[in-house]
Amino acid sequence: MSPSKKGGTTTSDPVRIMGSLDRGKVDVDKLIAQSKNEIVLDFATCTFISVEGLEWLEELVIRAASSKLEVRFENIPPTIYKVFKVAHIDGILKACGAPSSRLGPVC
């Protein structure tokens, strides 16, 4: 997860969320402190998200926003994407790329 230079901007390698996301990830928290541009979470190998995992993700996007960092989720399996859809949390849906409207992201 070392920051790298791409096209003149500082980006990080995607952070892979592996298996069950049932609590916060310390290394991601550290990454926020180090990153300059965006944080990408790769959910390709994520198999489960708990309530605590969801809350951490929400907190992550809020903290990142306050640090002017963009958070992007990629490779989201349908079961995990459905959790995001049902949870209906604006910040998480934005990180999934949902277009924003006046009333929040369109889901």
Partner 1 sequence: MVVSVTKQDLSLDDRVEDLIRQARLAAAVFTQYSQEQVDRIVKAMTIAAIQNAVMLAQAAHEETRMGCAEDKVLKNYVASEFFYNQIRDKKTVGIIQEFTEDNMVEISEPIGVILALAPVTNPTSTVLFKSIACAKTRNSVIFSPHLMAANASNLAAKIVYEAALAAGAPTGFISWVEKSSRLRKETEQMMVHPEVDLIFATGGTQMVKAAYSSGKPALGVGSGNTPVYVHKTARVASTAMDIIISKTFDNGTECPSEQTLIIDREVAPDLLAEFKRLGCHVCSLEEVEKVASVAIDERTGGMNYRMVGQPAKKIANEAGLDVPASTKMLLCPLEGDIRKHKLAVEKLMPVLGFVLVDSVDQGINRALDINYAGGTGHTAGVFSEDDDVVEKFAEAINAGRVIVNSPTSIGGLGGVYNNLNTTLSFGCGTGGGNITSDNVGIKNLMNYKRVPRRKHFTFAFQTVKNIYVNPGTLDHLKSIDTKSAFVITSPSAGKRGHLSMTLERLPADCKVEVFSDVGPEPDFSIVEEVVAAMNRCRPDTIIALGGGSVLDAAKVIRLFYDYPGLNLKELAVNFLDFRHRIIEFPKHMKTKLVAIPTTSGTGSEVTPFAVIKDREEHRKLSLVDETLLPNVAIIDANLTRSLPVDVTRDTAFDALTHAVEALVSTFASDYTDGLALESMRLIFEALPACIIDPDDVVLRHKLHNAACLAGMAIGNASVGVNHALAHSLGARFDIPHGRANSAVLLSTIEYNARIPNKFVAISNYPVWIADRKYARAAQFLGLVPEEDGKPLSPEAVAAAVKALRLAIFELGTETGQPLSISECGVSMADFEKELPGLVMVAANDMAIKTNPRYTLKDEFVELFVSSYPRRSLK
Q: 43-72: which residues touch partner 1 (CB under 8 A)?
A: 48-52, 54-55
Shortest CB 14 distance to partner 1, Å: 22
Q: 26-45: which residues touch partner 1 (CB under 8 A)?
A: none
Window contacting partner 1 (CB under 8 A); options: 7-15, 37-45, 63-71, 77-85: 77-85
CA distance 76 to 42: 7
Give the pairing of strands 38-42 and 15-16: parallel
Does 82 interact with partner 1 (rule: CB under 8 A)? yes
Q: Could you give the residue ranges of the DSSP H alpha helices within the chain?
A: 26-34, 51-66, 78-87, 90-95
Does 88 interact with partner 1 (rule: CB under 8 A)? yes
